[in-house]
Amino acid sequence: MKRRVLNAVLLASLAVLAVSSSAYAQGAGRTLAFNVSFDFMADEKPLKAGEYVISADSKGAGELRLQRTDGKFQTVLTPVTRLARQHQGDAPKASFVFDKVGDKHVLSEVWLPGQDGYLLKGAKEEHQHEVLDVK
């Protein structure tokens, strides 16, 4: 009897471990590293050029977490709205859209692979778009 109970507990533990590993892998797929070669603004915060990591909130709240890989900066970006992806072809790449006004760049859209986009607070002035594609 003890052996059956022990086997049942062991089987249940393995099942929980498998489910939590799968959830971790899905969450990890929502994190993306990218390099920006110019200073920019994100959510009205000035940021230096460099290597960043962005991740989507796994709880579905729609927030994005942006941080430098050197740990010197971290913030939560709250999108204005979501943007429907226009094409559903081969695994869409990630891209970041910056509103460019003169020498100033403002992060205005985030597109993570396989997801709809996120529209952020962009430049209020007349601007051009500069797209940074990430492979």
Q: How confident is the model at residue 98 (pLDDT cuts 50, 70, 90)?
A: very high
What does pTM read for this prediction? 0.71
Domain assignment of residue 24, yes or no: no
Domain assignment of residue 8, yes or no: no
Domain assignment of residue 55, yes or no: yes
Domain assignment of residue 67, yes or no: yes
Q: Range of 66's domain?
A: 31-134
Please answer whether residues 129 and 111 qualify as being in contact, where contact means their C-beta atoms are separated by less than 8 angstroms: no
Question: Structurally, how many domains does the chain consist of?
Answer: 1
Could you report the per-residue pLDDT of 105-129, keeping only the tens digit for each?
Answer: 999 999 998 888 999 999 989 999 9
Domain assignment of residue 53, yes or no: yes
Domain assignment of residue 4, yes or no: no
